[in-house]
Structure 1
Amino acid sequence: MEVGDDDNGNEQDFENEVLLTVESFKGLENLSIEDKLFGITLDNASNNQVFINELSVQEFLKYLDQELGLSQLRQLLNKICASTQRCEKLSLACKNNSIDDLKPIIDVPTSYTLTEEQWNGLRKIVDFLELFKEVTAVISGSTYSTLFMMILLFNFLINHVEDIIGDENEKVNDENDDENDDENIRIEKSIKKAAKYCKDKLLKYYVKTNNVYSIAVILDLRLKIQYFKDEEWDDDLINEINQNFVNIFNSNYATTSLNSNISFTSKEKSVISHKFKTYIALPTVSGKTLDPLKWSRINETQYLQLSKMAHDYLAIPATSVPSEQCFSISKNLITNNRNCLIGKTIRISIYLKS
């Protein structure tokens, strides 16, 4: 069979992927951390909350840009200013119509006078986007556990967008707009329709969330499985989440100890099972300052296996921001005058941010 150029490219890509996978696992084995691996993500949008926020915001702004025509105005100004002849013709046309000949600032997309209604519309857009900014800042933290927040913040953003949209049955299509609507009403409708696009983008990735997020929620004593019940999730889905948590605990943690060479007797396994059921039966606690990782560390002697599970899951950052920040500070660490550091010193310095 003859192989075309595209097939050769695909075959080469596949070989590179296999080689990368093999080398990656060799590195994990050399570091003895292969048993800590849950999965490998290559900037996957379904697991990248910051990127998903950006996608939904861009979807919101893209519609508003089409509706209000800001990009078209900017393109027109660019074309005029790019030609001396066009500028002269525009200047002459302004003089013939008694209009001041002003030079537009092409580097500023909105370099024209806005009406009061348009300013009000921009304020509403800023208010809408403010929550996305706050959520991004929260889940990008590196000094506290963030994984358990993912489902909560996703729901929070979806509720926020739905509040802006209002009644889903309300028709806000362009063809149904009343020509007599004033500018305030037109801008309000545009924002609502843009919010619907934003919601669609959020929901597209919401259904792709990984099981690690629901496990992290259950491991937080303030939330546990009760969170999904309070949010009125479907009973079948709640049972599936709970069963998945139990299966992972039983297969990976119920028969493990601090010493991997120790095996448990039937009696000891029964005690572990009892402690697990005790934790599951514990009521949720209140407290915004409660750190689930610290709680598991404090109660490690009582819930050893659950504590180990919490350390494995809750230590996972919800985004790649903390690790990217570590890489970005390396340019300030290794300079022309400081270029002979050994690997261990570099790792410690990055960790201590010194």
Structure 2
Amino acid sequence: MEEVSDVNEEINNVDVGDLDTGDDKNEEVGPKSKKRGRKEASRSEYWTHFVKFTCEIDKVQKGKGVEKCLLDWKIDKIFTITVDNASSNDGAITYLQKKFDNWGSNILGGRYLHMRCIAHIVNLIVQDGLKGKYEHSAISRIRGAVRYIRNSSARYKRFGECVELEKIETKKLLSLDVPTRWNSTYLMLESAVCLKRAFDSYADIDLAYVNDLSKPPYDGIPTNYDWERAELLLKFLGHFYKLTLSIFGSLYVTVNTIFHEISAVDMLLKEWLNGDDFELRDMSRKMKNKFDKYWGSIEKMNMLLYYAVILDPRHKLEFLEFSFDAIYDDITDAMLMKEKVKNGMQELFYDYKMRYGTPGSPAPSSLGSNLFSKSNQSDNPMSSRMYLKDEFRKYKLGGKKERVKTEIEKYLSEDPKDYDKNFDILQWWKINSPRFPVLSKMARDILAVPVSTVASEAAFSTGGRVLDAFRSSLSPRIVQALVCAQYWLRLDSKPICVEEDLVEIEVLEKVCHACHYTHSAIVIPTDVVEEEGRG
């Protein structure tokens, strides 16, 4: 198995994804076909755009590989790097932090550089919970029943007749799961529970159903207790499934929603830990231990997840403080979290102000106290003199000694926007960037942070299906055209309307017709497809 790292700048953010090559067989891509003396095809130059690391590679070497990519692509401003939880990734991030310091582009010394993939953490949490004896037995028997019926088209047809006989009104179909992927197990259980009566009816018409499932490798037919456990698991896993769906997206902002989802999971686990169901308490305890390992304290989380909530005009700091009071039983812990988030947010804003602020703008201050305290004045005599001059000028003009508010103070002093699920947070910051020139740049970078490597892994999986062992000599431009065309055709937000796009279609046909005779790559004119549609 190979680990493929993709370095992709997205408003100063990098997403490094690890491939699961077991399903797509990307490790076999290349000129290794030996069927019937087939001539070996030359390896496509497409793969030269990516760096491949073996699992045994040294963590420093992995960091050097990412560094080489950034240098080759002339990317020198990196805000975050999203990786999974492999220990070698931690070492690579440490190496890159030092390098970025030398480049002079590190924000606060790379304090927020390391972003752990939320999807990987959720997967680890759920897998720990499903290791219980009763959960494993129930899932195993239901999985065996589904596999038995799906293994034969005749059985599947008879099962469909049972569904009609039982008058089950659902569009869900039986689906096989991958045991190592809990989300597919959730979908399998969801459909199976809806069709429970059909399973009972099928046992009456297929005499081999009970006998075959009683033999290895099966564990028997599902019992009523198994179905009860399955319904409980569906309720349990449904929250995590919704969480994974919310972070899988790559066409919209996700970082501002993670805190809400994590908080909901934390409170849910605490509720189940105090419940009456012993088995559910045991499962919740395992998951809570894994939860605390990655998200149990503020030091273990990337603070950008908190800042993104503050930069959401619908929530701001008030919502975050309210959430801390609800999550933490000890008021001291809640107050400590509030102070750390406030100070960290202010420090990051100050760093951005030093980089992008204009001369003469108001100096930053703490969210809770004046930055120009006596200690700060004594440490910096120049700032102290400038402070007195500014205050004297304000005194002469207005007669009052009032400090000018910073951008972040102005932003937080305004009432939050009304909640709207269709609210476009990026558009809001674009419109209000003249009012908050520095804070909007900070919001641009934070809201662009990818919290999951799922999108990059999916891109690699798609490339592996396009470029396989029997089609391995395509040019990079052809591969790009195939992958992008497939992506554009699947976009729900931009449905294809032939009647309205006849002119564009005729232009594309001419291009394709010319390429057929010249054997050149398909180039889609820029006047046909908008630049922003290139994924």
**TM-score, normalization by structure 1:** 0.69
Provide the rounded CA distance (Å) in 2 between the counterparts of 1:352 and 1:298. 33
Provide the rounded CA distance (Å) in 1 between the counterparts of 2:458 and 2:346. 35
2:396 is aligned with 1:327: no
Q: Could you say which residue in structure 1 is the equivalent of 2:531?
A: none
Counterpart selection for 1:289 from 409, 413, 422: 422
- The alpha-carbon deviation at position 26 of structure 1 amounts to 3.7
2:287 is aligned with 1:198: yes
- The alpha-carbon deviation at position 103 of structure 1 amounts to 3.8
Deviation per residue, 1:277-302 (Å, 9 max, x gap): 21122222222222322211221222
Provide the rounded CA distance (Å) in 2 between the counterparts of 1:106 and 1:224. 59
Provide the rounded CA distance (Å) in 2 between the counterparts of 1:306 and 1:151. 20
Counterpart selection for 1:47 from 95, 101, 116: 116
Counterpart selection for 1:59 from 119, 128, 138: 128
**Greater shift in the superposed pair: 135-144 or 62-71:** 62-71
279 and 327 in structure 1: CA distance in 2 versus 1, 3 angstrom threshold = same
298 and 165 in structure 1: CA distance in 2 versus 1, 3 angstrom threshold = same
Counterpart selection for 1:280 from 386, 409, 412: 412
Map residues 96-111 of structure 1 onto 2, 5 A cutoff. 102-104=211-213, 109-111=218-220
Map residues 264-275 of structure 1 onto 2, 5 A cutoff. 264-267=358-361, 274-275=406-407
Asked if the contact 2:306/2:341 (under 8 Å) is kept, the reply is yes
- The alpha-carbon deviation at position 157 of structure 1 amounts to 1.2
Provide the rounded CA distance (Å) in 2 between the counterparts of 1:279 and 1:145. 20
32 and 121 in structure 1: CA distance in 2 versus 1, 3 angstrom threshold = same
Matched to 1:209, the amino acid is M
Counterpart selection for 1:340 from 470, 475, 482: 475
Provide the rounded CA distance (Å) in 1 between the counterparts of 2:129 and 2:302. 25
Matched to 2:295, the amino acid is Y
Counterpart selection for 1:228 from 298, 312, 320: 320
- The alpha-carbon deviation at position 40 of structure 1 amounts to 6.2
Q: Could you say which residue in structure 2 is the equivalent of 1:145?
A: 253
- The alpha-carbon deviation at position 340 of structure 1 amounts to 2.1
- The alpha-carbon deviation at position 276 of structure 1 amounts to 2.8
- The alpha-carbon deviation at position 164 of structure 1 amounts to 2.7
216 and 15 in structure 1: CA distance in 2 versus 1, 3 angstrom threshold = same
Q: Could you say which residue in structure 1 is the equivalent of 2:487?
A: 353
2:206 is aligned with 1:133: no
120 and 249 in structure 1: CA distance in 2 versus 1, 3 angstrom threshold = same
- The alpha-carbon deviation at position 165 of structure 1 amounts to 3.0
Q: Could you say which residue in structure 1 is the equivalent of 2:433?
A: 300
Provide the rounded CA distance (Å) in 2 between the counterparts of 1:39 and 1:216. 16
Provide the rounded CA distance (Å) in 1 between the counterparts of 2:75 and 2:447. 17
108 and 352 in structure 1: CA distance in 2 versus 1, 3 angstrom threshold = same
108 and 125 in structure 1: CA distance in 2 versus 1, 3 angstrom threshold = farther
Deviation per residue, 1:158-198 (Å, 9 max, x gap): 2222333335xx7xxxxxxxxxxxxxxxxx42122212222
Q: Could you say which residue in structure 2 is the equivalent of 1:189?
A: 278
**Greater shift in the superposed pair: 23-32 or 55-64:** 23-32
Deviation per residue, 1:225-251 (Å, 9 max, x gap): 212211115112211111111111111
In percent, how many aligned pairs have the same letter?
20
Matched to 2:241, the amino acid is K
Asked if the contact 1:70/1:110 (under 8 Å) is kept, the reply is no
**TM-score, normalization by structure 2:** 0.47
Q: Could you say which residue in structure 2 is the equivalent of 1:242?
A: 342
Specify every segment of 5 or more residues in structure 1 that has no aligned partner in the other structure, as ranges: 1-12, 75-100, 171-187, 258-262
